[in-house]
Amino acid sequence: MRVYFDNAATTPLDPEVMKEMYKVMENQFGNPSSIHAHGREARTLIERSRKTIAGLLHTSPAEIFFTSSGTEADNTAIRCGIIDHNITHAITSPIEHHAVLHTLEAMEKAGLIKLSLVNIDSKGAVDYDHLETLLKENERSFVSIMHANNEIGTLSDMERIGDLCEAYNAIYHCDTVQTMGHYQHDLSKLKAHFLVCAGHKLHGPKGVGFLHINHKIKIKPFIYGGAQERNMRGGTENIYGIVGLAKALEMAYGEMEQHQNHIQGLKTYMMEQLIANVPGVGFNGETDPDKSLYTVLNVAFPEMEMSDMLLFNLDIAGISASGGSACSSGSDIGSHVLTAIGASSSRPSVRFSFSKYNTKEEVDFVVAKVRELCAVNV
């Protein structure tokens, strides 16, 4: 048996998405920038996809810009949002994805900004009072705080952050890579300037994503070239990927409640079974269903010999998962997220992340294997 519990890294491509993409690959090969019939057909597919996505998110198609990835979208929002608006102060959290953290750190190192890290608690939750203090202390800030952490699943309050940013005239960028297609996002109400999506996190294809840019903010291109994406992103569009992304998001919205209930049930069941079968087990991050991403469960196992081999042993046992431990003192190796929340560096941690395709039988299989490994390594 082989179990895939690493859906936060990437999800399997839905067969219906694959069919939609294959039809395009087979029949529409034109360059969407060409004015002849083949090009117009390709352009129609892109604009139809843009309209589908915008409709699901309650926004205008003019606010959706296709990219190659969530990382590109994050970089575009951060670099262009800061430079084009002459921002000299940025606020983020210490547990952001490296697409955000490394970008902001590079800009600080280049002398473009001063970077402040908002306080978080032991579960990774943002200290909103500290965020407001940082906003008060600076004339205008760029705020980048993700909706759900990709390692521990803790959710931020997007509405509250949006209100704070509006009150202090800050620009708000939110990395929604882990939650797009898993939660409803009503962009007609949300006070965010930038949101980000990566297709492969919601059973769509790799190599495509989008950046939502609120009409209230204007930026220059991050990638220069042709006039693609209304002069905002040079480079011939990935038609197959864009069509697949739109189909995946459309399916996700249509099945969202059903899949939320199923996946949250798996997560809760796995927590119960681990507590019952693995003495000393714990969980990193928030576990309250209202405050935690339902697709992610970060498990802190008891101290054991050769703890650094746990993921390898899980792989040998037929289980695909990811994780590690907090960084040891003086070492950069390990999880910056677990280090930031004060997790023990001596306890191995594993992120199990679920999708609509996972089952209770797979949870039982994983718990049984984990129990064996922990018993062997004590």
pLDDT of residue 306 exceeding 70, the answer is no
Query: Residue 53 — φ and ψ, nearest 5°?
Result: -65, -45
Instruction: Taking residues 237-260, report their average pLDDT.
Output: 97
* Structure token pair of residue 16: 């219906």
Residue 335 pairs in a beta bridge with: 326
Residue 326 pairs in a beta bridge with: 335
| Catalytic residue, candidates 80, 174, 197, 327 | 327
* pLDDT tens digits along 43-78: 999 999 999 999 999 999 999 999 999 999 999 999
* pLDDT tens digits along 92-146: 999 999 999 999 999 999 999 999 999 999 999 999 999 999 999 999 999 999 9
Nearest to 84 by CA among 194, 216, 213, 219: 219
User: Has 374 been annotated as catalytic?
Assistant: no
* pLDDT tens digits along 291-302: 999 999 999 998
Every domain range in the chain assigned CATH 3.90.1150.10: 3-11+255-377
How far is residue 229's CA from residue 238's CA, in Å, rounded to a whole number? 11
Nearest to 35 by CA among 198, 214, 227, 185: 227
Every domain range in the chain assigned CATH 3.40.640.10: 15-254
Interaxial angle between packed helices 239-254 and 37-57, expressed in degrees from 0 to 180 and rounded to the nearest 10: 30
Nearest to 192 by CA among 77, 86, 55: 77
pLDDT of residue 325 exceeding 70, the answer is no
* Structure token pair of residue 39: 């090009």
The pLDDT confidence band at residue 376, using thresholds 50, 70 and 90, is: low
Where does the chain show beta strands of DSSP type E? 3-4, 64-67, 89-92, 114-117, 142-144, 171-174, 194-198, 209-213, 282-284, 296-300, 319-320, 322-324, 349-353
Could you count the other beta carbons within 10 Å of the beta carbon of residue 109?
10
CATH of domain 15-254: 3.40.640.10
The pLDDT confidence band at residue 328, using thresholds 50, 70 and 90, is: very low
> pTM, whole model, 2 decimals?
0.95
Could you give the C-alpha distances from 44 to 51, 59, 118, 210, in angstroms and in order?
10, 19, 44, 17
Query: What architecture is domain 3-11+255-377?
Result: Alpha-Beta Complex (3.90)
**Average pLDDT across the chain, whole number:** 94
The pLDDT confidence band at residue 163, using thresholds 50, 70 and 90, is: very high
How far is residue 263's CA from residue 260's CA, in Å, rounded to a whole number? 5
End-to-end CA distance of the chain: 25
